[in-house]
Amino acid sequence: MSDNQDQLAIKRHIIREDGSMTPSDLRQRNRVRILSEIRRDPGISRRGLSELTGLTDASVSRITRDLIGDGLIVETETAGSHARRGRPNVGLFLNPSGIAVLCLCLSAYEQKFSVVMLNGTRLLEGELAALTERGAADIAAGIRARIGRHGVHPQIEAPRLAGIAIAVSGTAKDGVGELTAALEEGFGVAGHVEDISNALHIAETKYREGGRAASRSLLIHAGLELGASLMMNGVASSIAHQSLGRVVVDRSGGDAGWTRLEDRASGSAIMQRLGHTGVPRSPQAGLISGLPHAIRQANSGDPAAMLAFRDAGHALAVSTVPVCAMVRTEQVVLAGPLAAAGPFVQGFQEVIAASFEAADESRPRVVRSVKSYLKGAEAMGLDRFAFSPPG
Protein backbone atom coordinates (compact mmCIF):
# COMPACT_ATOMS: atom_id res chain seq x y z
CA MET A 1 0.00 0.00 0.00
CA SER A 2 1.37 3.42 -0.95
CA ASP A 3 1.92 6.28 1.49
CA ASN A 4 -0.85 8.25 -0.21
CA GLN A 5 -3.36 5.47 0.31
CA ASP A 6 -2.25 5.04 3.90
CA GLN A 7 -2.86 8.75 4.55
CA LEU A 8 -6.43 8.48 3.33
CA ALA A 9 -7.47 6.12 6.12
CA ILE A 10 -10.30 4.91 3.89
CA LYS A 11 -9.31 1.29 3.70
CA ARG A 12 -11.15 -1.91 2.96
CA HIS A 13 -11.13 -4.61 5.63
CA ILE A 14 -11.85 -8.30 5.44
CA ILE A 15 -15.24 -9.34 6.79
CA ARG A 16 -15.15 -12.33 9.13
CA GLU A 17 -16.22 -15.67 7.71
CA ASP A 18 -19.45 -15.60 9.72
CA GLY A 19 -20.40 -12.27 8.11
CA SER A 20 -19.81 -10.15 11.22
CA MET A 21 -17.68 -7.02 11.20
CA THR A 22 -14.63 -6.28 13.27
CA PRO A 23 -14.54 -3.05 15.29
CA SER A 24 -12.16 -1.70 12.67
CA ASP A 25 -14.69 -2.51 9.92
CA LEU A 26 -17.44 -0.71 11.83
CA ARG A 27 -15.29 2.38 12.34
CA GLN A 28 -14.49 2.51 8.63
CA ARG A 29 -18.15 2.05 7.69
CA ASN A 30 -19.14 4.93 9.93
CA ARG A 31 -16.39 7.11 8.46
CA VAL A 32 -17.60 6.42 4.93
CA ARG A 33 -21.21 6.98 5.98
CA ILE A 34 -20.39 10.38 7.46
CA LEU A 35 -18.32 11.31 4.41
CA SER A 36 -21.17 10.27 2.09
CA GLU A 37 -23.75 12.31 3.99
CA ILE A 38 -21.53 15.38 3.80
CA ARG A 39 -21.29 14.85 0.04
CA ARG A 40 -25.08 14.64 -0.25
CA ASP A 41 -25.70 17.67 1.97
CA PRO A 42 -22.75 20.10 1.93
CA GLY A 43 -22.73 22.33 5.00
CA ILE A 44 -24.52 19.84 7.24
CA SER A 45 -23.85 20.25 10.94
CA ARG A 46 -22.57 17.62 13.35
CA ARG A 47 -25.97 17.57 15.03
CA GLY A 48 -27.59 17.00 11.65
CA LEU A 49 -25.23 14.10 10.96
CA SER A 50 -26.05 12.57 14.32
CA GLU A 51 -29.80 12.77 13.68
CA LEU A 52 -29.44 11.41 10.15
CA THR A 53 -27.13 8.49 10.91
CA GLY A 54 -28.29 7.55 14.41
CA LEU A 55 -24.72 7.82 15.69
CA THR A 56 -24.09 9.50 19.03
CA ASP A 57 -22.89 13.09 19.15
CA ALA A 58 -19.59 11.86 20.59
CA SER A 59 -19.11 9.38 17.72
CA VAL A 60 -19.88 11.99 15.09
CA SER A 61 -17.53 14.45 16.75
CA ARG A 62 -14.71 11.89 16.83
CA ILE A 63 -15.22 10.78 13.22
CA THR A 64 -15.42 14.32 11.83
CA ARG A 65 -12.33 15.29 13.81
CA ASP A 66 -10.43 12.41 12.20
CA LEU A 67 -11.73 13.29 8.72
CA ILE A 68 -10.62 16.89 9.18
CA GLY A 69 -7.23 15.68 10.36
CA ASP A 70 -6.92 13.49 7.27
CA GLY A 71 -7.72 16.46 5.05
CA LEU A 72 -10.92 14.96 3.65
CA ILE A 73 -13.39 17.52 5.03
CA VAL A 74 -13.30 21.13 6.24
CA GLU A 75 -15.55 23.06 8.58
CA THR A 76 -16.83 26.50 7.74
CA GLU A 77 -19.06 28.91 9.61
CA THR A 78 -22.39 29.12 7.85
CA ALA A 79 -23.29 32.74 7.19
CA GLY A 80 -26.58 33.98 8.59
CA SER A 81 -27.28 30.86 10.62
CA HIS A 82 -26.65 30.51 14.33
CA ALA A 83 -27.07 27.58 16.63
CA ARG A 84 -28.35 27.71 20.19
CA ARG A 85 -26.46 29.56 22.92
CA GLY A 86 -25.49 32.22 20.39
CA ARG A 87 -22.77 30.15 18.75
CA PRO A 88 -22.35 30.38 14.96
CA ASN A 89 -23.44 27.28 13.09
CA VAL A 90 -20.49 25.35 11.67
CA GLY A 91 -21.10 23.38 8.50
CA LEU A 92 -19.02 20.50 7.17
CA PHE A 93 -17.89 20.32 3.55
CA LEU A 94 -15.77 17.98 1.47
CA ASN A 95 -12.22 19.19 1.01
CA PRO A 96 -11.89 19.48 -2.81
CA SER A 97 -8.18 18.66 -2.67
CA GLY A 98 -8.62 15.81 -0.22
CA ILE A 99 -7.97 13.07 -2.73
CA ALA A 100 -7.69 12.58 -6.49
CA VAL A 101 -8.85 9.67 -8.64
CA LEU A 102 -7.52 8.92 -12.12
CA CYS A 103 -10.46 7.89 -14.30
CA LEU A 104 -10.58 6.28 -17.74
CA CYS A 105 -13.51 5.45 -19.98
CA LEU A 106 -12.90 3.01 -22.81
CA SER A 107 -15.85 2.37 -25.08
CA ALA A 108 -16.70 2.25 -28.76
CA TYR A 109 -17.87 5.88 -28.50
CA GLU A 110 -15.57 7.59 -26.06
CA GLN A 111 -11.96 7.08 -24.98
CA LYS A 112 -10.93 9.67 -22.41
CA PHE A 113 -9.19 10.10 -19.09
CA SER A 114 -9.53 12.64 -16.32
CA VAL A 115 -8.38 13.47 -12.82
CA VAL A 116 -11.28 14.17 -10.48
CA MET A 117 -11.15 15.39 -6.91
CA LEU A 118 -13.18 14.35 -3.88
CA ASN A 119 -16.01 16.82 -4.47
CA GLY A 120 -16.35 15.82 -8.12
CA THR A 121 -14.33 18.70 -9.55
CA ARG A 122 -12.61 17.63 -12.78
CA LEU A 123 -9.11 19.06 -12.77
CA LEU A 124 -8.03 17.93 -16.20
CA GLU A 125 -9.29 15.86 -19.10
CA GLY A 126 -7.60 14.26 -22.09
CA GLU A 127 -8.32 12.16 -25.15
CA LEU A 128 -7.08 8.59 -25.33
CA ALA A 129 -7.97 7.93 -28.97
CA ALA A 130 -4.46 8.75 -30.14
CA LEU A 131 -2.99 6.34 -27.59
CA THR A 132 -5.29 3.34 -28.06
CA GLU A 133 -3.21 1.92 -30.90
CA ARG A 134 -0.15 1.76 -28.65
CA GLY A 135 0.81 -0.76 -26.03
CA ALA A 136 -0.32 -0.61 -22.42
CA ALA A 137 3.01 0.74 -21.17
CA ASP A 138 2.96 3.55 -23.75
CA ILE A 139 -0.63 4.49 -22.85
CA ALA A 140 0.27 4.65 -19.15
CA ALA A 141 3.36 6.72 -19.93
CA GLY A 142 1.32 9.06 -22.13
CA ILE A 143 -1.22 9.67 -19.38
CA ARG A 144 1.54 10.28 -16.83
CA ALA A 145 3.20 12.78 -19.17
CA ARG A 146 -0.04 14.72 -19.68
CA ILE A 147 -0.77 14.81 -15.97
CA GLY A 148 2.81 15.87 -15.31
CA ARG A 149 2.43 18.84 -17.61
CA HIS A 150 -0.43 20.03 -15.40
CA GLY A 151 1.42 19.36 -12.16
CA VAL A 152 2.57 22.96 -11.76
CA HIS A 153 -1.02 24.23 -11.75
CA PRO A 154 -1.76 25.66 -8.28
CA GLN A 155 -5.02 23.74 -7.97
CA ILE A 156 -3.37 20.34 -8.26
CA GLU A 157 -0.23 20.68 -6.23
CA ALA A 158 0.61 17.25 -4.87
CA PRO A 159 -2.86 15.70 -5.19
CA ARG A 160 -3.28 12.56 -3.14
CA LEU A 161 -4.08 9.90 -5.71
CA ALA A 162 -6.43 7.35 -4.16
CA GLY A 163 -6.79 4.97 -7.09
CA ILE A 164 -7.44 4.36 -10.77
CA ALA A 165 -10.98 3.75 -12.06
CA ILE A 166 -11.51 2.25 -15.52
CA ALA A 167 -14.96 1.90 -17.10
CA VAL A 168 -14.96 -0.36 -20.17
CA SER A 169 -17.34 -1.92 -22.67
CA GLY A 170 -17.34 -3.92 -25.89
CA THR A 171 -14.11 -4.39 -27.79
CA ALA A 172 -12.37 -1.95 -25.46
CA LYS A 173 -12.22 -4.77 -22.89
CA ASP A 174 -9.47 -6.41 -24.93
CA GLY A 175 -6.20 -5.83 -23.11
CA VAL A 176 -7.71 -3.88 -20.22
CA GLY A 177 -5.98 -6.15 -17.72
CA GLU A 178 -2.57 -5.30 -19.14
CA LEU A 179 -3.42 -1.60 -19.17
CA THR A 180 -4.59 -1.70 -15.55
CA ALA A 181 -1.37 -3.37 -14.48
CA ALA A 182 0.70 -0.77 -16.35
CA LEU A 183 -1.19 2.11 -14.74
CA GLU A 184 -0.94 0.58 -11.27
CA GLU A 185 2.81 0.22 -11.68
CA GLY A 186 3.20 3.69 -13.14
CA PHE A 187 1.20 5.52 -10.46
CA GLY A 188 1.75 3.22 -7.49
CA VAL A 189 -1.92 2.89 -6.55
CA ALA A 190 -4.62 0.25 -7.00
CA GLY A 191 -6.85 0.14 -10.04
CA HIS A 192 -10.46 -0.97 -10.38
CA VAL A 193 -12.17 -2.03 -13.61
CA GLU A 194 -15.95 -1.84 -13.98
CA ASP A 195 -18.36 -2.48 -16.83
CA ILE A 196 -19.59 0.76 -18.38
CA SER A 197 -23.18 -0.19 -17.52
CA ASN A 198 -22.38 -0.32 -13.82
CA ALA A 199 -20.40 2.93 -13.98
CA LEU A 200 -23.29 4.78 -15.63
CA HIS A 201 -25.75 3.20 -13.19
CA ILE A 202 -23.74 4.44 -10.21
CA ALA A 203 -23.64 7.93 -11.75
CA GLU A 204 -27.38 7.97 -12.51
CA THR A 205 -28.52 6.73 -9.11
CA LYS A 206 -26.07 7.13 -6.24
CA TYR A 207 -24.63 10.35 -7.65
CA ARG A 208 -27.63 11.81 -9.41
CA GLU A 209 -28.25 15.43 -8.49
CA GLY A 210 -31.14 16.14 -6.18
CA GLY A 211 -31.86 12.79 -4.61
CA ARG A 212 -30.79 9.49 -3.13
CA ALA A 213 -30.37 6.23 -4.98
CA ALA A 214 -33.40 4.15 -5.87
CA SER A 215 -33.24 0.90 -3.90
CA ARG A 216 -34.18 -1.16 -6.99
CA SER A 217 -33.08 0.11 -10.37
CA LEU A 218 -32.38 -1.34 -13.81
CA LEU A 219 -30.13 0.35 -16.35
CA ILE A 220 -30.13 -0.70 -20.00
CA HIS A 221 -27.06 0.29 -21.97
CA ALA A 222 -28.10 0.35 -25.63
CA GLY A 223 -25.46 0.88 -28.28
CA LEU A 224 -24.10 -1.32 -31.02
CA GLU A 225 -24.46 -4.03 -28.38
CA LEU A 226 -26.80 -4.35 -25.41
CA GLY A 227 -25.78 -4.40 -21.79
CA ALA A 228 -27.53 -3.93 -18.48
CA SER A 229 -26.95 -3.30 -14.80
CA LEU A 230 -29.25 -4.23 -11.95
CA MET A 231 -28.91 -2.27 -8.72
CA MET A 232 -30.34 -3.57 -5.45
CA ASN A 233 -29.90 -1.47 -2.32
CA GLY A 234 -27.05 0.52 -3.82
CA VAL A 235 -25.07 -2.45 -5.17
CA ALA A 236 -24.80 -2.64 -8.96
CA SER A 237 -24.27 -5.89 -10.87
CA SER A 238 -23.69 -5.86 -14.61
CA ILE A 239 -25.43 -8.17 -17.07
CA ALA A 240 -23.02 -8.94 -19.90
CA HIS A 241 -24.10 -8.03 -23.42
CA GLN A 242 -23.64 -11.66 -24.40
CA SER A 243 -26.31 -12.69 -21.90
CA LEU A 244 -28.77 -9.88 -22.59
CA GLY A 245 -28.38 -9.85 -26.35
CA ARG A 246 -29.05 -13.58 -26.58
CA VAL A 247 -32.42 -13.39 -24.88
CA VAL A 248 -34.85 -15.18 -27.23
CA VAL A 249 -37.54 -12.94 -28.73
CA ASP A 250 -39.42 -15.25 -31.14
CA ARG A 251 -39.04 -17.92 -33.82
CA SER A 252 -39.27 -15.54 -36.78
CA GLY A 253 -35.73 -16.44 -37.67
CA GLY A 254 -37.17 -19.33 -39.65
CA ASP A 255 -34.55 -21.86 -40.67
CA ALA A 256 -31.95 -19.79 -38.87
CA GLY A 257 -33.69 -20.57 -35.57
CA TRP A 258 -34.76 -18.28 -32.75
CA THR A 259 -34.52 -14.52 -33.11
CA ARG A 260 -32.55 -12.96 -30.29
CA LEU A 261 -32.90 -9.55 -28.66
CA GLU A 262 -29.64 -8.33 -30.18
CA ASP A 263 -31.20 -8.96 -33.62
CA ARG A 264 -34.09 -6.62 -32.81
CA ALA A 265 -33.06 -3.98 -30.30
CA SER A 266 -29.32 -3.29 -30.64
CA GLY A 267 -27.66 -0.52 -32.61
CA SER A 268 -26.17 -3.15 -34.89
CA ALA A 269 -29.66 -4.49 -35.67
CA ILE A 270 -30.93 -0.98 -36.42
CA MET A 271 -28.02 -0.32 -38.76
CA GLN A 272 -28.63 -3.56 -40.63
CA ARG A 273 -32.32 -2.73 -40.96
CA LEU A 274 -31.38 0.64 -42.46
CA GLY A 275 -29.12 -1.07 -44.99
CA HIS A 276 -25.74 -0.76 -43.31
CA THR A 277 -23.76 -3.98 -42.97
CA GLY A 278 -20.38 -4.94 -41.62
CA VAL A 279 -20.22 -2.86 -38.43
CA PRO A 280 -16.47 -2.41 -37.79
CA ARG A 281 -14.72 -3.91 -34.77
CA SER A 282 -12.35 -1.28 -33.46
CA PRO A 283 -11.92 0.87 -30.35
CA GLN A 284 -13.83 3.65 -32.14
CA ALA A 285 -16.43 1.39 -33.80
CA GLY A 286 -19.36 3.39 -32.49
CA LEU A 287 -18.14 6.60 -34.04
CA ILE A 288 -17.44 5.18 -37.51
CA SER A 289 -20.40 2.79 -37.75
CA GLY A 290 -22.85 5.42 -38.94
CA LEU A 291 -25.01 5.00 -35.84
CA PRO A 292 -24.68 8.66 -34.72
CA HIS A 293 -25.90 9.76 -38.17
CA ALA A 294 -28.84 7.34 -38.01
CA ILE A 295 -29.81 8.77 -34.60
CA ARG A 296 -29.80 12.27 -36.05
CA GLN A 297 -32.00 11.06 -38.91
CA ALA A 298 -34.50 9.54 -36.48
CA ASN A 299 -34.64 12.70 -34.40
CA SER A 300 -35.13 14.86 -37.49
CA GLY A 301 -38.18 12.87 -38.62
CA ASP A 302 -36.83 10.47 -41.25
CA PRO A 303 -39.65 7.86 -41.51
CA ALA A 304 -37.47 4.78 -42.02
CA ALA A 305 -35.10 5.72 -39.20
CA MET A 306 -37.95 6.63 -36.85
CA LEU A 307 -39.65 3.27 -37.42
CA ALA A 308 -36.44 1.30 -36.97
CA PHE A 309 -35.61 2.97 -33.66
CA ARG A 310 -39.18 2.82 -32.37
CA ASP A 311 -39.46 -0.91 -33.13
CA ALA A 312 -36.11 -1.49 -31.40
CA GLY A 313 -37.40 0.34 -28.31
CA HIS A 314 -40.54 -1.80 -28.38
CA ALA A 315 -38.55 -5.04 -28.56
CA LEU A 316 -36.24 -4.01 -25.74
CA ALA A 317 -39.13 -3.03 -23.47
CA VAL A 318 -41.04 -6.26 -24.11
CA SER A 319 -38.04 -8.22 -22.81
CA THR A 320 -37.56 -5.80 -19.91
CA VAL A 321 -41.12 -5.85 -18.52
CA PRO A 322 -40.87 -9.33 -16.91
CA VAL A 323 -37.69 -8.31 -15.09
CA CYS A 324 -39.33 -5.12 -13.84
CA ALA A 325 -42.36 -7.07 -12.64
CA MET A 326 -40.30 -9.70 -10.81
CA VAL A 327 -37.82 -7.33 -9.19
CA ARG A 328 -40.34 -4.49 -8.78
CA THR A 329 -37.86 -1.95 -10.04
CA GLU A 330 -38.52 1.66 -9.13
CA GLN A 331 -36.92 2.94 -12.31
CA VAL A 332 -35.46 1.90 -15.64
CA VAL A 333 -32.58 4.03 -16.88
CA LEU A 334 -32.00 4.08 -20.63
CA ALA A 335 -28.33 4.82 -21.34
CA GLY A 336 -25.97 4.68 -24.27
CA PRO A 337 -26.25 6.13 -27.79
CA LEU A 338 -29.75 4.79 -28.48
CA ALA A 339 -31.09 6.70 -25.47
CA ALA A 340 -30.42 9.88 -27.49
CA ALA A 341 -32.91 8.77 -30.16
CA GLY A 342 -36.38 10.11 -29.36
CA PRO A 343 -38.30 7.37 -31.25
CA PHE A 344 -36.32 4.67 -29.41
CA VAL A 345 -37.20 6.11 -25.99
CA GLN A 346 -40.80 6.66 -27.09
CA GLY A 347 -41.14 3.05 -28.24
CA PHE A 348 -39.75 1.81 -24.93
CA GLN A 349 -42.10 4.02 -22.90
CA GLU A 350 -45.13 2.92 -24.92
CA VAL A 351 -44.63 -0.71 -23.93
CA ILE A 352 -44.02 0.14 -20.27
CA ALA A 353 -47.19 2.25 -20.20
CA ALA A 354 -49.22 -0.54 -21.84
CA SER A 355 -47.83 -3.20 -19.47
CA PHE A 356 -48.51 -1.45 -16.16
CA GLU A 357 -51.60 0.37 -14.96
CA ALA A 358 -51.02 4.08 -14.45
CA ALA A 359 -51.82 3.75 -10.74
CA ASP A 360 -49.79 0.55 -10.34
CA GLU A 361 -47.14 1.15 -7.68
CA SER A 362 -44.91 -1.41 -9.40
CA ARG A 363 -44.83 0.61 -12.62
CA PRO A 364 -41.25 1.83 -13.02
CA ARG A 365 -40.45 5.33 -14.14
CA VAL A 366 -38.34 5.58 -17.27
CA VAL A 367 -35.30 7.84 -16.99
CA ARG A 368 -33.05 8.80 -19.89
CA SER A 369 -29.40 9.01 -18.96
CA VAL A 370 -27.55 12.17 -19.91
CA LYS A 371 -24.25 11.21 -18.29
CA SER A 372 -21.16 10.86 -20.45
CA TYR A 373 -19.03 7.74 -20.16
CA LEU A 374 -16.28 9.79 -18.53
CA LYS A 375 -18.76 11.11 -15.96
CA GLY A 376 -19.74 7.52 -15.26
CA ALA A 377 -16.12 6.53 -14.75
CA GLU A 378 -15.61 9.45 -12.36
CA ALA A 379 -18.69 8.62 -10.29
CA MET A 380 -17.63 4.98 -10.14
CA GLY A 381 -14.10 5.93 -9.12
CA LEU A 382 -15.20 8.20 -6.30
CA ASP A 383 -17.74 5.62 -5.18
CA ARG A 384 -15.08 2.91 -5.13
CA PHE A 385 -12.22 4.80 -3.49
CA ALA A 386 -14.02 7.26 -1.20
CA PHE A 387 -17.71 6.67 -0.59
CA SER A 388 -18.17 2.90 -0.38
CA PRO A 389 -18.01 1.02 2.93
CA PRO A 390 -15.35 -1.68 3.39
CA GLY A 391 -16.09 -5.18 2.25
pLDDT of residue 13: 37
CA distances from 82 to 77, 210, 250 (A): 9, 25, 66
Rounded to whole angstroms, the Cα distance separating 248 from 228 reads: 16
Residue 374, pLDDT > 90, answer: yes
Instruction: Provide the 8-state DSSP code for 391.
Output: -
- Which amino acid type is present at position 331? Q
Q: Is the Cα dihedral 14, 19, 20, 25 positive or negative? A: positive
User: Residue 248 in contact with residue 260, Cβ under 8 Å?
Assistant: yes
Whether 282 shows a pLDDT value over 80: the answer reads: no
Span 110-127, pLDDT tens digits? 889 999 999 899 988 998
pLDDT (mean) for 263-269: 90
DSSP state of 359: T
pLDDT value at 253 more than 70: no
pLDDT, tens digit (0-9, with 9 covering 90-100), for 375-387:
999 999 999 999 9
62-75 pLDDT per residue, tens: 999 999 998 899 99
pLDDT range class, residue 256, cuts 50, 70, 90: low
- Under the banding of pLDDT at 50, 70 and 90, the label for residue 151 is low
Rounded to an integer, the average pLDDT of 155-173 is 76
- Of the two residues 221 and 359, the one the predictor is more confident about is 221
Query: Is this structure's pTM higher than 0.85?
Result: no
d(CA 268, CA 288): 12
User: Does pLDDT of 153 surpass 60?
Assistant: no
Full 3-state SS string of 294-328: HHHHHHCCCHHHHHHHHHHHHHHHHHHHHHHHHHC
- In the structure, what pLDDT confidence band is assigned to residue 7 with cuts at 50, 70 and 90? very low
Report how far residue 347's alpha carbon sits from residue 152's, in angstroms, rounded to the nearest whole number: 51
Tell me the pLDDT band of 173, cut-offs 50, 70 and 90: confident
Is the CB of residue 113 less than 8 Å from the CB of residue 124?
no
Nearest to 271 by CA among 259, 283, 263, 282: 263
d(CA 127, CA 113): 6
E strands of the chain, at which residues? 73-82, 88-94, 100-106, 111-117, 122-127, 161-168, 191-195, 216-222, 226-232, 235-239, 248-250, 259-260, 331-335, 365-368
Return the pLDDT at 257: 65
pLDDT in tens, 294-352: 999 999 999 999 999 999 999 999 999 988 888 889 999 999 999 999 999 999 999 99
**Across 238-251, average pLDDT:** 66
Report all structural domains of the chain as residue ranges with CATH numbers, in order of start.
3-94 (1.10.10.10), 100-201+375-385 (3.30.420.40), 210-369 (3.30.420.40)
How far apart CA 306 and CA 302 sit, in angstroms, is 6
Burial 158-174 (b: 16+ CB within 10 A, else e): ebbbbbbbbbbbbbbee
> Residue 354 is inside which H or E element, if any?
helix 342-355
Q: What's the CA gap between 167 and 175, in Å, rounded?
A: 13
